[in-house]
C-alpha cells in the first residue's frame, strides 16, 4: 500500500516547481524539450489508436466472437463488448505511454540530470562543479534504471492487457495500469536525486518501495498533464523532474560516500 500523505506531498510539489521555474527563469529548459516531446507524442497516439482497433477486430474474429455478437443481436451484449473494446484500447494507449515515456527518458537523460542538479544547486545556494564524467555516470544510471523499470512495467502491463478482455474486471484495468504507470515514472524522476547522493540502485529501489506514495503522486500529476492538450504535453516532462527534486530535497536525504 501507499501513503495518501506522500501522494499529496508529491502533488503539491508541482505548484512549488512552477514557482521555482518562474522565479529562476528556467523556461528555456522547459519549452524546447517539451515541444519536441509534444510532436513525437501526438504522432504516436494516432498510430496506436488506429492499430489497437485492428488488433481488437483480429481477436474478435479469431475467436468468432464478432459473428456471435452480430447473430445474437442483443443491445446489452453489444454495449458490454464496446466497453471491453474501449478498455483494451485504453490499455494499449497506456502501454504506448510507457514505451514512449521510457524512450524519451533515455534520450532526455542528460537534460533531466542537468535540471535536477541545477534545481538542487539553487535550493542549496551552492554550485555543483560541472563534471562531464559525473554527468555521463548520471546519464548511464538513468538509462539503466529506465530499462529496468521498463522490463518490470512491461510484465505488469501484459498481465493487465490480458485481464482487460474479462468483462467487469476489464473495466478496472485502465485504472490499475495508470497507477503502475505513475509509480514507475515517478521512480525514474526521483532517481536523479538518489544518484547525486551516490545511492546504489538497490538503495533507491528500497527507498521507493517504502515511499510508493511519492512516486505515484509525482507520476499522477504528469499523467493528468497528458490530458491537457499541447500545454500539458509540453510542460509535464520537465516539471516532473523539478517537482521530484524539490520534494526529495525537503526530505533531507543523506549522502552516501
Pick the closest to residue 18 from 7, 27, 9 (CA basis).
27
Query: CB burial class (10 A; 0-12, 13-18, 19+) of residue 76?
Result: exposed
Pick the closest to residue 227 from 27, 55, 90 (CA basis).
90
* CA angle (242 as vertex; 150, 191 as ends), nearest 5: 40
- Do residues 229 and 191 make contact, with C-beta atoms less than 8 angstroms apart? no
How long a stretch of residues is the chain?
257
- Choose between 142 and 200: higher pLDDT: 200
Per residue in 114-145, pLDDT tens? 888 889 889 888 776 666 777 777 778 878 88
DSSP-derived secondary structure for 154-178: HHHHHHHHHHTTSTTHHHHHHHHHH
Give the pLDDT confidence score for residue 19 in this predicted structure.
95
Question: With bands split at pLDDT 50, 70 and 90, how would you rate the model's confidence at 66?
Answer: low
Mean pLDDT of 132-159: 80
Give the pLDDT confidence score for residue 23 in this predicted structure.
93
pLDDT at 71 over 60: no
The reported pTM is 0.76
Mean pLDDT of 216-237: 89
Backbone angles phi, psi at 199, to 5 degrees: -75, 145
Residue 123 CA to residue 21 CA, distance in Å, equals 12
pLDDT at 100 over 70: yes
Query: CB burial class (10 A; 0-12, 13-18, 19+) of residue 111?
Result: middle
Residue 13 CA to residue 188 CA, distance in Å, equals 16
Residue 181 CA to residue 186 CA, distance in Å, equals 8
Mean pLDDT of 185-203: 88
pLDDT at 60 over 70: no
Per residue in 6-57, pLDDT tens? 999 999 999 999 999 999 998 988 888 888 888 888 888 888 888 877 777 7
Question: With bands split at pLDDT 50, 70 and 90, how would you rate the model's confidence at 81?
Answer: low
Amino acid at each position: 500500500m501507499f501513503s495518501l500523505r506522500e501522494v499529496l506531498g508529491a502533488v503539491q510539489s508541482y505548484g512549488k516547481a512552477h514557482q521555482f521555474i518562474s522565479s529562476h527563469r528556467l523556461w528555456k529548459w522547459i519549452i524546447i524539450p517539451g515541444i519536441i516531446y509534444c510532436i513525437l507524442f501526438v504522432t504516436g497516439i494516432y498510430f496506436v489508436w488506429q492499430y489497437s482497433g485492428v488488433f481488437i477486430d483480429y481477436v474478435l474474429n479469431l475467436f468468432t466472437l464478432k459473428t456471435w455478437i452480430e447473430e445474437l443481436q442483443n443491445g446489452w451484449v453489444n454495449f458490454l463488448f464496446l466497453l471491453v473494446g474501449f478498455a483494451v484500447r485504453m490499455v494499449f494507449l497506456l502501454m504506448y505511454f510507457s514505451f514512449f515515456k521510457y524512450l524519451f527518458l533515455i534520450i532526455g537523460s542528460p537534460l533531466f540530470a542537468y535540471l535536477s542538479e541545477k534545481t538542487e544547486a539553487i535550493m542549496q545556494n551552492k554550485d555543483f562543479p560541472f563534471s562531464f564524467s559525473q554527468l555521463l555516470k548520471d546519464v548511464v544510471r538513468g538509462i539503466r534504471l529506465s530499462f529496468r523499470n521498463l522490463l518490470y512495467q512491461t510484465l505488469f502491463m501484459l498481465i493487465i492487457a490480458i485481464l482487460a478482455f474479462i468483462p467487469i474486471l476489464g473495466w478496472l484495468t485502465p485504472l490499475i495500469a495508470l497507477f503502475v504507470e505513475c509509480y514507475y515514472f515517478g521512480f525514474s524522476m526521483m532517481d536523479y536525486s538518489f544518484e547525486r547522493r551516490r545511492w546504489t540502485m538497490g538503495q533507491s529501489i528500497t527507498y521507493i518501495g517504502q515511499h510508493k506514495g511519492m512516486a505515484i503522486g509525482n507520476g499522477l500529476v504528469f499523467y493528468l498533464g497528458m490530458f491537457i492538450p499541447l500545454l500539458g504535453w509540453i510542460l509535464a516532462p520537465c516539471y516532473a523532474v523539478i517537482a521530484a527534486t524539490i520534494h526529495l530535497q525537503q526530505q533531507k536525504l543523506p549522502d552516501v560516500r
